Amino acid sequence: MSGKEIEKIAVLGGGLIGAGWAVNFLWKGYPTAVYDVSEEALEAARKRVSGSFDYLAAKGIVSADQARVAMGLARYTTDIAAALKDADLIQEAAPERYEVKRDLLAQVDRFAKEEAVFASSTSGLLISRIAEGSKHPERCLGAHPYNPPYLIPLVEISKGEKTAEEYLQRAYDFYRALGKEPIILRKEALGFIANRISVALYREAVDLVWRGVCSVADVDKAVTFGPGLRLALMGPNLIYQLGGGQYGVKGILHHIGPTVEDWWADMADWKKWPEGWGDMAQEGVLKEMEERPASQGRTPEEIARWRDDGLITLLRFHGKI
C-alpha cells in the first residue's frame, strides 16, 4: 500500500452518527474499528449497526450474506490506541464540543499513522479551532454527513486554516468512491452549507408559528407538501430556473423580485431563539405526531423507519442506490 490509500477506518464515538458511518463503511467493504468510552456505548453501537443491516437486508438493498460479511469487518473497542493503530481514515463522531474533539485529536496524534486523514463529523464547529494544538493540522478536515449517514449522500468537506489540499482531495475521492456526494467548501463557514440553509428555513418556520400565522403542524405540512417535494429532487436555483420561463433563474427577479424584498423586510431576522419556543414546539409536535396516519408511524422510531422507507424510494429515483 502506498500509505495514501484508505483501506482501514476508525470511527471515534459510536452514537447515532458514528454507528451510521460504520454501517456505510462496512457495507462498502472497509474494515472498521468503532471506539467509544464504555462497554454500554459499544453495545448500543453494535445494536444500531446490526439493526441497520437488518433493515437494509429487509429492503433488498443488501443480501443477508452481504450483511453478515459486512458486520464481520467491524471491531468494537474501548482501547483508542488499538482502534487508531492501522486506520487510514479516522471519522470522528463524538459529542459536539471543541474540548472533546481536541482531546480525541491529541490521542490521534499519539497513536495514529502520521498520514491518516482526521475527518470530523462536526455539524458546524470550525476545523481551525478543532485542530488548534494538533501536531498535524494539515490532515484535519470536516466531513459532515446528514442523518442517517448510510442513506443520505451529502458529505460537506471543510478545511481549516492549515488543512492541506492533498488531504481534502484524498477525503473527496474516498467519499465519492463510497457512493457519497461530497462537496468541498472553498472557505470556512460556521454551520457549513446545508445546516445554514436548514436553520434559515427553520427560523422562518418558528417565526410564523410564534407570530400566530399558523400552527406547528401546518408549517410542517406547508414544507412537506409544497417546497419539500421539489427540494428532494433539485436545489433552489434549478427550481427557480424551471419556474422562470423565458427568463430562467432570473425570472424570480423579474416576476416577484421587488415583492420578495418586501417579504424579506418583514421576515424573521432575530439571532436568539424566542423564549419559550422549546415548549411551544414540543407541544405542537406531539399533537402533530398523534394526528398522523397510523400507517405512517406515530412514535419517533416508527416515523424514522417510515422516513427511511421514503428516502430509499427517493434515492432509487436519483439512481443513488
Ligand X SMILES: NC(=O)c1ccc[n+]([C@@H]2O[C@H](COP(=O)([O-])OP(=O)(O)OC[C@H]3O[C@@H](n4cnc5c(N)ncnc54)[C@H](O)[C@@H]3O)[C@@H](O)[C@H]2O)c1
Binding site for ligand X (CB under 6 A): 12-18, 36-37, 41, 93-96, 100, 104, 121-123, 144-145, 147
Give least dist CB 260 to ligand X, A: 31
Is 46 exposed, middle or buried (CB count within 10 Å of its CB: 0-12, 13-18, 19+)?
A: middle
**CA end-to-end distance (rounded Å), the chain:** 29
In the complex, what is the shortest distance from the CB of residue 264 to ligand X, in angstroms, rounded to a whole number? 29
Nearer to ligand X, 17 or 84 (CB): 17
User: Which string of DSSP letters, residue by residue, matches 253-275?
Assistant: HHHHHHHHHHHHHHS---SSPPT
Q: Which residue has the cell 471491531?
A: 75
Report in angstroms the alpha-carbon separations of 264 from 204, 260, 261. 10, 6, 5
CB atoms within 10 A of CB 229: 10
Considering the complex, state which of residue 66 and residue 123 has its C-beta at the smaller distance from ligand X. 123
Which residues have CB under 8 Å from 239's CB, separation 6+?
227, 230, 231
In three-state secondary structure terms, 243 is helix
Least Å distance, CB 267 to ligand X, is 26
Taking the least distance from each CB to ligand X, the nearer of 122 and 158 is 122
Closest approach of Cβ 93 to ligand X, in Å?
A: 4
| Cβ proximity to ligand X, 12 vs 208, nearer residue | 12
Nearer to ligand X, 99 or 291 (CB): 99
Count of CB atoms situated within 10 Å of the CB of 319: 6
Burial status of residue 113 (CB atoms within 10 A of its CB: 0-12, 13-18, 19 or more): middle
The reply to whether omega before 148 is within 30° of 0 (cis) is: yes
Which residue type is seen at 313?
A: T
Least distance in angstroms from the C-beta of 255 to ligand X: 36
Smallest distance from ligand X to CB 92, Å: 8
Work out how close the CB of 18 gets to ligand X at its nearest, in angstroms, rounded to a whole number.
Answer: 6
Closer to ligand X at the Cβ: 78 or 296? Answer: 78
Cβ proximity to ligand X, 63 vs 147, nearer residue: 147
> Cβ 64 to ligand X, closest distance in Å?
27
**What distance separates the 2 farthest-apart alpha carbons in the chain?**
62
Q: Give the nearer residue to ligand X in terms of CB position, either 147 or 296.
A: 147
Which residue's Cβ lies closest to ligand X?
15
